[in-house]
Amino acid sequence: MEAPTVKSAPLLHQEHGRLAIPEDVPELGIQKGDEGVIRRLTYLRNTVFAFVMVTYSTGQPKGWVVVEIKPERKVRSYTTATQ
């Protein structure tokens, strides 16, 4: 018996978790507590890293922040967003 197939449709909406940045990043104009969208999680040598996109209130990208979220929360690196 064959199962019915469905053509894949383009993804219209995808949810991502939000994460508060644990410390100031003055070079990007980010203050402790500003939120960004988690785009990727990585596990490396007993440490979990979140790659977080932070945007302006207009929705334009401000920059990327790599946050160590386990074992402790701290900013590990950052970079400005490329347009």
pLDDT in tens, 42-81: 999 999 999 999 999 898 999 999 999 988 999 999 999 8
Using DSSP's 3-state secondary structure scheme, residue 26 falls into: helix
Q: So what's the pLDDT on residue 65? A: 96
Helix (H) or strand (E) run with residue 54 in it? strand 47-55
In the 8-state DSSP scheme, what is residue 23? S
Judge whether 18 and 35 are in contact, CB under 8 Å.
yes
Entry pTM: 0.75
DSSP 8-state secondary structure symbol assigned to residue 25 = B
- pLDDT, mean of residues 23-48: 93
Contacts of 45 (CB under 8 A, 6+ apart): none
